[in-house]
Amino acid sequence: MPEHVVIVGSGPAGWTAAIYAARANLKPLVFEGAVTEENRMQGTLPLGQLAMTTEVENYPGFPAGDLSEFFRTSLPTEHHWMIDMHQKEGCSGPELMHLMRQQAVNFGTQIVTDDIVEVDFDSHPFQLKSLGGQEVEALSVIIATGARANYLGLPSEEKYKNNGVSACAVCDGALPRFRDKPLVVVGGGDSAVEEADFLTKFASTVHLVHRRDELRASKIMSQRAINNPKIAIEWNSQVEEVLGNDSEGVTGVRLKSSVDDSTRALDASGAFMAIGHTPNTTFLAGKLEMTAKKYLKWTVPFRTNTSVEGVFAAGDVADDYYKQAITAAGSGCMSALDAERWLGSKGL
Ligand code: NAP
């Protein structure tokens, strides 16, 4: 028997789609991703990008406060280590994701801890194959595989992730370690300028490090950065190494000039990478319409339809603009409603 809905991906979009599909009695099957070294290295383990962050302060419904008893009673004991470890106020990314996953499980979601590596959308029911060799037939599919932030690929950058290195100013910028300290933002596009601008609320100075002598960002955004007295643009510069130590985390960066290879150090308590994202769509090449940057295309305005009828997309995999947990969750909900209505309209 084919599955009614197969959901590929396990971030906020995937679990919200699962909660809605499960409550509509569609018994969704979620492929939450495989636990492999490759996925660990590229940041695509189960539970997605949020599972790699620390505090989440902007997801509605989780104000600061001691939520440990709530977590303890909401999550099965095997996940209580997170609560015992953090002992802090509010919600963390991993806790939020485990809560969403548990909510989906509570309503009867089936879960396979594996990647989908091959799809056949030419015939119906659709065929999907996992890394471990499992083959599944699906009447409808929701793709919610997200995107991964690009990093420079430096060992020192990897070492200080979550200890001063971040790829999300909106998520991490307000943390105490960044207050009234100099910060570095790497990149020259709209994201970099926006993040630099946002971080000036907290930082003493924001060094915007760009490898060329001209920003890629739109004129209006570029002008905003140039006019902001708290932003210092470090032109023609590349981060060669993130500097730091075990107790303080990031303490600065070493820059290398793209013009004459000279180097210099900058003090900073944080280094924010804003050099773009890569959507997790490789396994869909040639199967669904994508943008030039390989994001899935929504083909109907205000709906989550893709170029194949019965296949829907939710979250960052189809969104290179908002890229927030709450917007991903919202489109996950939309995709489940779209799938349910499409199945109903076909009598499936
Ligand atoms: P982007 O436009 O692709 O810019 C990426 C930036 O990172 C570029 O400046 C690039 O340098 C730099 N970069 C890439 N790899 C690098 C590396 N290895 N080392 C150093 N620098 C590197 O990405 P984005 O800024 O995330 O924007 C994505 C899309 O969202 C864009 O279409 C953007 O307009 C849109 N967006 C809009 C807004 C807004 O309107 N408010 C806000 C955010 C994003 P080069 O310039 O030298 O290539």
Q: What is the mean pLDDT of each run of 10 residues along the chain (348 residues)?
A: 97 98 98 90 87 81 87 91 74 92 98 98 98 98 96 95 88 89 96 92 96 95 94 98 97 97 97 95 98 98 98 97 95 98 97
86 & 101 share domain: yes
In this structure, the residue with its CA closest to atom 34 of ligand 1 is 190
What's the pLDDT at 191?
87
What lies within 8 Å, CB to CB, of 292 at 6+ separation is: none
Residues 269 and 286 in one domain: no
Ligand 1, atom 9: nearest CA belongs to which residue? 188
Residue 225 shares a structural domain with residue 300: no
User: Strand 110-112 to strand 91-92: parallel, antiparallel, or no bridges (unpaired)?
Assistant: unpaired
Mutate to test the pocket of ligand 1, among 150, 151, 170, 190 (most ligand atoms within 8 A of CB): 190
Q: Strands 277-279 and 147-149, how do they pair? A: antiparallel
Query: Are 174 and 211 found together in one domain?
Result: yes
Report the C-alpha gap between 269 and 243 in whole angstroms: 10
Cα 299 vs. chain centroid, distance in angstroms? 22
In three-state secondary structure terms, 30 is: strand
Cα–Cα distance measured from residue 153 to residue 143, given in angstroms and rounded to the nearest whole number: 27
pLDDT given at position 159: 95
Span from the CA of 81 to the centroid of ligand 1 (angstroms):
38
Rg (CA), the chain: 21
Kindly state whether residues 140 and 66 are assigned to the same domain. yes
Beta bridge partners of 265: 254
* CA 36 to ligand 1 centroid distance, Å: 29
pLDDT for the residue 114: 98
Question: What are the pocket residues of ligand 1 if the criterion is a CB atom closer than 6 Å to any ligand atom?
Answer: 152, 186-192, 194, 211-212, 216, 238, 274-276, 320-321
Query: What is the Cα–Cα distance from 148 to 42, expressed in whole angstroms?
Result: 7
Q: Are 126 and 60 found together in one domain?
A: yes
**264 φψ region: left (φ > 0), alpha (ψ -120 to 50), beta (else):** beta
Closest to 101 measured CA to CA, from 51, 40, 43: 51
Q: What is the pLDDT of residue 87?
A: 61
| Structure confidence at residue 174 (pLDDT) | 85
Report how far ligand 1's centroid is from the alpha carbon of 148 (Å).
14
The residue whose CB lies within 8 Å of the most ligand 1 atoms, and thus the one to mutate among 157, 168, 170, 191, is 191
327 and 237 within one domain: no
At 280, the amino acid letter reads N
Contact 147, 52 (CB under 8 A): no
The residue whose two tokens read 């950065």 is 225
29 with 132, same domain?
yes
Measuring from atom 14 of ligand 1, which residue has the nearest CA?
275
Same domain, 121 and 181: no
Summary count for the chain: helices (H), strands (E):
10, 19
Of 273, 292, 324, at which residue does a domain stop?
A: 273
> Which domain-ending residue is among 224, 254, 273?
273
User: Residue 333 catalytic?
Assistant: no
Catalytic annotation present for 172? yes
Contacts 24+ apart (CB under 8 A), 114-120: 114/31, 114/32, 114/33, 114/34, 115/31, 115/33, 115/34, 115/36, 115/39, 115/283, 116/8, 116/31, 116/283, 117/283, 118/283, 119/283, 119/284, 119/287
Domain-terminating residue out of 273, 293, 322:
273
Domain count across the chain:
2
Closest listed residue to residue 348, CA positions, set 41, 4, 111, 1: 4
Residue 140 and residue 283 in one domain: yes
- Ligand 1 mean position, distance from CA 208 (Å): 13
CA of 177 to the centre of ligand 1 (A): 26
User: What are the residues facing 244 on neighbouring strands?
Assistant: 250
Are residues 326 and 245 located together in one domain of the fold?
no
Residues 7 and 135 in one domain: yes
In a 10 Å sphere around its CB, with 0-12 CB exposed, 13-18 middle and 19+ buried, how is residue 68 labelled?
A: middle
Active-site hit among 91, 114, 115, 171: 171
Q: Please name the residues in contact with 20: beta carbons below 8 A apart, sequence gap of 6 or more.
A: 332, 333, 336, 337, 340
List the CATH number of the domain containing 219: 3.50.50.60
The parent domain of residue 179 ranges over 155-273
Give the pair of three-digit tokens for residue 183: 């910060």
